[in-house]
Chains A and B, each alone.
Chain A
Amino acid sequence: MKILINIYSLFFFIITTSFAQKTYDHFKIQVDGLGCPFCAYGLEKKFKELKGLKKVNIAIESGNFDFKLPSDPEFSMKSAIEQVKKAGYTPKSAIIERASGTTETFPNLETKVLNSLEDFKTLSFKVQGNCEMCKARIEAKAISIDGVSKAKWSVASKVLEIETTKESLSEKAIGIAIASEGHSNSHAKADKQAYNNLPPCCNYKK
């Protein structure tokens, strides 16, 4: 009798544990520009405040940001990326391994195909920022703009260099877009809320 009870208990334990393991979606996100430990670990800490979040971990060297959330197909890749951006990170790529067994991926923003047959022009102007995290954010925003094929921001000189194939794209339009991320520049002032949301190391002097 005792043996039967033990077998049933073990069986019950295995079933419930299996259920528990299968109810989490695993997010693996590659973030860019991590350099300051206070910002990186601080943002990891803030992310932990998300309800149900499990096993949050960030590795500064590799830029790997890992966490698990209770399985919810409604929490899309787009939501995940927005959440990471809201916390101050700049995602490069992401994979979600759903509890259901499916996998979703987020493309790498840096890989934009340059059509060598198109003419391009180079623009450059100053953008305020402080650190590698600023660099990642500024460049990611710039390159997300339609027509921009390359973007490079220097931490030292604060100059953003853009390569664009779109004749009609102006520095001002790019500047406004970047200001929306919290970075004042030669063409536009930073959105106040976006600036206040920047992580500590990105709080450049206005």
Chain B
Amino acid sequence: MKAIVLLSLSFLFINCQPKKWQFKKELFLKDIQPIGITFIENQLWIADGESNRVVKIDSNGKIIDSITHLNRPMHINTDKTTIYIPQFGNDSILKFNVKTKHSSFLSTPSLDAPAGVSVNGNEIAIADFYHHNIHFYNGKKWSTFGKKGSKDLEFKYPTDIQIINNYIYVADAYNHRIQILSKEGTHIKTIGESFNMNASTGLFIHKKDIYITDFENNRILITNEKGESVQVLNTSIEKPTDIIIFNNHLWVLNFKKGSISVFSK
């Protein structure tokens, strides 16, 4: 009887543990060197920096549409109808409406190699690589936060950004960490400094967990909101640049290999 109770308790305990991501498959993308990933209308779009385009792919990685003649597109993002494309090479953010196919430039402060953009309702945030700062639009006006350095609210080549609820998360790539700011530009928290990351180039926040691409270490770090490690992924990961959760799967871009590693729970 005791054994049955113990077994039942063990079974319950094991099943109450959060499920871990397991490697499912790797999609090899033909002639694409992927840097940024996003989705709109239930379709994945990928920024191909080497070929200066953003492409729509199907579930097998085949290109089904493309936006061309860009200038080094980086970490892209979307609202309901529009893809926002930071163009690293010409200091601009291009907006492309997927329904009308019409494109226009977002009016922004002066940029020097924008590497990431995030859209949240009428709010926009931009990671400005060579200015070592971020720009935030609150629906009414732009503010600029940060400067070059390694202290709180200082950045070294920020490459990605995401607005979630009341906070702005910044991939502070060459300080090898993630910084969390308020929308007023105050420093809230720094994550990842103890993980010995080497170029934290991409990030994605999902249900309070923070997913980070550790580029030179060929791994994905997943932490909770306190910055504690939840899981480390390194199966089929090589020079990861961006990451997203889409249709309950984790999609990781492998820049050098030109592939996407897919994980499921």
Contact = CB atoms under 8 A, between A and B. Distances in A.
Given A41-B49, A45-B113, A59-B50, A36 B198 contact: no
B216 A130 contact: yes
A81 interface: no
Given A35-B256, A38-B159, A201 B216 contact: yes
Interface string B142-157: 0000000000000011
Contact of B174 (A41, A44, A201): A201
Contact of A201 (B49, B199, B241): B199
Interface string A24-45: 0000000000011110011011
Interface in B121-167: 129-130, 156-157, 159
Instruction: Provide the main secondary structure of the chain B interface.
Output: loop
A42 B156 contact: no
Interface string A41-55: 110110000000000
Given A35-B256, A38-B201, A200 B173 contact: yes
Contacts of A37: 33, 35, 49-50, 241, 255
A176 interface: no
Most chain B CB within a 10 A radius of its CB, from A35, A36, A60: A36
B263 interface: no
Interface string A69-82: 00000000000000
A35 B254 CA distance: 12
Contacts of A42: 88, 113, 129-130
Question: For the side of the interface on B, what is the size category?
Answer: 20 to 34
B215 interface: yes
A36 B199 contact: yes
Given A38-B115, A38-B129, A130-B216, A61 B33 contact: yes
Interface string A182-206: 0000000000000000001101010
Nearest to A44: B89
A201 B239 CA distance: 13
A200 B157 contact: yes
Contacts of B199: 36, 130-131, 201
Closest 6 CB pairs of A and B: A200-B157, A41-B72, A200-B174, A203-B174, A37-B49, A41-B88
Interface of B: 33, 35, 49-50, 72, 74, 88-89, 113, 115, 129-130, 156-157, 159, 173-174, 176, 198-199, 201, 215-216, 239, 241, 255-256
Given A37-B35, A60-B33, A205-B176, 9 more contacts: A37-B49, A37-B241, A38-B74, A38-B88, A38-B159, A41-B113, A42-B88, A44-B89, A201-B199
